C-alpha cells in the first residue's frame, strides 16, 4: 500500500498534486511519501513484537538524509555498507548504537570512522577483515562488537545479480566454517563476539529460502553457545520483496515474515535485527517524468521521456519492471496503445518498457514510474551529463526538495583542467 492515489483525476503524493511539484522542481524528479515510509517501517516493528528487536533500514536502498531522518525519528536503526552511508546515518541524527556496518570490503579508514563515531556492530565477512578490524580497534584501545556474516548456501530464487546466499557468491563465511572463525574471533584482542548475521539476497518473493537460512542460523547459534560464545543478537538481513506490478502474485507480508522469524529463531532469547530496504522505501517513491516526444516507429510508437537509464537503472540493469502511469488519470474507457518507453540517453539499453499499454499521451504530459523509491535515486549517475535527478519529500499537504538538481555550472566546476594542459 502506498500514498500515491488519483484524486479528482490527478495523481497525488499524499495531499500534494504531482503537477504542482513538477511546476516548481521541473522533471524528472523523485518524490517520496513520508506516510508510506512510516507505515512500512511500522509493519516490520509490529511483525516482530513482542520479541526484542531493532529494524535497521538498509541505507543503500535510499540514502537521502531526510528519508533516513523520517525513519530514524521513529526509532529505526540503520544498516550501512560504506563510510559515506555511515556519515549519512549520523547526519540524520541516528546514534551509533543503532548503526550496523555490513559489506565485504570495509577499509581500515571506514572501521576507524565507525569506531570513533560509535557503532552497534560490524557484520564481518571474512577472516582478513576480522584481523584488520581487531588491529584497528585494539590500536584505539577498543573492542569492536561483531557478528560474522555466514553464508548458508541457500538459493534465494531471485535475480542472479541480487542473490547473495549461495556458496559461489562473494558474501559471508561458509556456514560450515563458522565455528572455526568464531573461535578465532574470540581470541582476538580487538574483537567482541556478540551476534550472528545472515543476508541471502534481495527481492525475495517466497519465504522458503528465509526459513532454510534461519533454521541454519538457529542451529549455528546453539552450537556457538555450546562452544562458549555469547550470542546476544541475530541479524537476519533484509530482502523481503515488493510487488512491482498490480497484477503480480503478492509477495509475503511483513507479518508472515515476522511469524516465520518467531517460529525459527524466536526461542533463542536473542534480540532480533532485520535490515529491510526495498520493502520500506520501494513503494514509498515515484519517479516523475515529462514526455518530450511521441515518435512514430515501425510497428510501434516510442514514448520519449525526460527520465533515462541514468536516473533509474533498474530496467536496463536487471530487466526490472516498473508500472508507468499517466499523472492525469485517463478517462474511463480510454483506449490504450502499446508504447516503447525510452529515455534520451544514447544507448538502446535506455529502455524502460517495451510494448507497454498506455493511454494516448502527448508531449508535455507527465508520467510516473511506480515503486521507484528503492535502488532508484541512489543508483543514479550523470551519464550523458544529465544533472543528477532531484528528490522531493512530501508530508501531508507540504513538500520540500531534499536534494536539488545541480546546475550545469556546478557540474562543470567539478572538472578541472590541469595547469600544464
Comparison of 229 and 278: residue with beta carbon closer to ligand PLP: 278
Provide the minimum distance between the beta carbon of 96 and ligand PLP in the complex, in angstroms, as a whole number: 18
* Torsion angle (degrees, nearest 10) of CA 131, 132, 136, 139: 50
275 known ligand binder: yes
276 known ligand binder: yes
Looking at 49-122, list the stretches that DSSP marks H as alpha helix, in order from N- to C-terminal side.
65-73, 83-91, 108-117
Q: Identify the DSSP state of 406.
A: P
318 known ligand binder: yes
Contact 101, 123 (CB under 8 A): yes
Provide the minimum distance between the beta carbon of 87 and ligand PLP in the complex, in angstroms, as a whole number: 18
CA distance 176 to 152: 8
DSSP SS3 for 54: strand
Comparison of 33 and 102: residue with beta carbon closer to ligand PLP: 102
Residue given cell 577498543 in the structure block: 142
How many other CB atoms sit within 10 Å of the CB of residue 349? Answer: 12
299 known ligand binder: no
Provide the minimum distance between the beta carbon of 277 and ligand PLP in the complex, in angstroms, as a whole number: 3
Among residues 56, 194, 270, 346, which one is catalytic?
346
Q: What is the largest CA-CA distance in the chain?
A: 71
Residue sitting closest to ligand PLP (CB): 277
Comparison of 36 and 61: residue with beta carbon closer to ligand PLP: 61
Comparison of 279 and 291: residue with beta carbon closer to ligand PLP: 279
85: left (phi over 0), alpha (psi -120 to 50) or beta: alpha
Comparison of 41 and 399: residue with beta carbon closer to ligand PLP: 41
CA distance 322 to 211: 28
Is residue 346 part of the annotated active site? The answer reads: yes
CA distance 309 to 305: 11
396 known ligand binder: no
Cis peptide before 28 (omega within 30 of 0): yes
Would you tell me which residues interact with ligand PLP (CB under 6 A)?
58, 60-61, 79, 102, 199, 202-203, 237-239, 275-279, 374
Q: Are strands 16-17 and 29-33 parallel, antiparallel or unpaired?
A: unpaired
Provide the minimum distance between the beta carbon of 171 and ligand PLP in the complex, in angstroms, as a whole number: 8
Provide the minimum distance between the beta carbon of 221 and ligand PLP in the complex, in angstroms, as a whole number: 19
Question: Which segments are annotated as binding site for pyridoxal 5'-phosphate?
Answer: 239, 275-278, 375
- Known binding-site residue numbers: 239, 275-278, 314, 318, 347, 375
Catalytic residues: 346
Q: Which residues are annotated as a binding site for substrate?
A: 278, 314, 318, 347, 375
Amino acid at each position: 500500500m502506498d500514498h500515491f492515489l488519483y484524486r479528482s483525476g490527478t495523481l497525488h503524493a499524499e495531499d500534494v498534486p504531482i503537477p504542482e511539484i513538477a511546476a516548481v522542481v521541473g522533471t524528472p524528479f523523485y518524490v517520496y511519501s513520508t506516510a508510506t515510509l512510516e507505515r512500512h517501517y511500522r509493519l516490520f516493528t509490529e511483525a516482530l513484537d513482542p520479541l526484542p528487536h531493532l529494524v535497521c533500514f538498509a541505507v543503500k536502498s535510499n540514502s537521502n538524509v531526510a528519508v533516513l531522518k523520517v525513519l530514524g525519528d521513529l526509532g529505526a536503526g540503520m544498516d550501512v555498507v560504506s563510510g559515506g552511508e555511515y556519515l549519512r546515518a549520523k547526519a540524520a541524527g541516528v546514534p551509533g548504537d543503532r548503526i550496523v556496518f555490513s559489506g565485504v570490503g570495509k577499509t581500515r579508514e571506514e572501521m576507524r570512522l565507525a569506531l570513533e563515531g560509535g557503532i552497534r556492530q560490524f557484520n564481518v565477512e571474512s577472516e582478513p577483515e576480522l584481523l584488520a578490524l581487531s588491529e584497528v580497534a585494539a590500536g584505539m584501545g577498543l573492542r569492536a562488537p561483531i557478528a560474522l556474516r555466514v553464508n548458508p548456501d541457500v538459493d534465494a530464487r531471485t535475480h542472479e545479480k541480487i542473490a547473495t546466499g549461495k556458496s559461489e557468491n562473494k558474501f559471508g563465511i561458509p556456514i560450515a566454517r563458522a565455528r572455526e572463525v568464531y573461535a578465532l574471533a574470540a581470541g582476538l584482542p580487538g574483537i567482541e563476539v556478540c551476534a550472528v548475521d545472515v543476508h541471502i539476497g534481495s527481492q525475495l518473493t517466497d519465504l522458503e529460502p528465509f526459513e532454510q537460512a534461519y533454521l541454519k542460523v538457529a542451529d549455528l547459534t546453539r552450537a556457538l553457545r555450546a562452544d562458549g560464545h555469547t550470542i546476544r543478537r541475530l541479524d537476519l538481513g533484509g530482502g523481503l520483496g515488493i510487488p512491482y506490478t498490480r497484477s503480480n502474485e503478492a509477495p509475503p507480508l511483513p507479518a508472515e515474515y515476522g511469524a516465520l522469524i518467531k517460529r525459527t529463531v524466536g526461542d533463542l532469547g536473542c534480540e532480533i535485527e532485520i535490515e529491510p530496504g526495498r520493502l520500506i522505501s520501494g513503494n514509498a517513491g515515484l519517479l516523475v517524468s515529462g514526455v518530450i516526444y511521441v515518435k512514430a516507429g515501425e510497428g510501434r510508437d516510442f514514448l520519449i521521456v525526460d527520465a533515462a537509464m541514468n536516473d533509474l537503472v533498474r530496467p536496463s540493469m536487471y530487466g526490472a519492471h516498473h508500472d508507468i502511469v499517466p499523472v492525469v488519470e485517463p478517462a474511463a474507457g480510454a483506449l490504450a496503445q502499446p508504447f516503447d518507453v525510452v529515455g534520451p540517453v544514447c544507448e538502446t539499453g535506455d529502455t524502460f518498457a517495451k510494448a507497454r499499454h498506455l493511454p494516448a499521451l502527448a508531449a508535455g504530459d507527465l508520467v510516473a514510474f511506480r515503486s521507484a523509491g528503492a535502488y532508484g535515486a541512489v543508483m543514479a549517475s550523470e551519464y550523458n551529463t544529465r544533472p543528477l535527478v532531484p528528490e522531493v519529500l512530501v508530508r501531508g499537504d507540504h513538500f520540500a526538495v531534499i536534494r536539488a538538481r545541480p546546475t550545469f555550472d556546478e557540474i562543470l566546476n567539478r572538472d578541472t583542467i590541469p595547469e600544464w594542459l
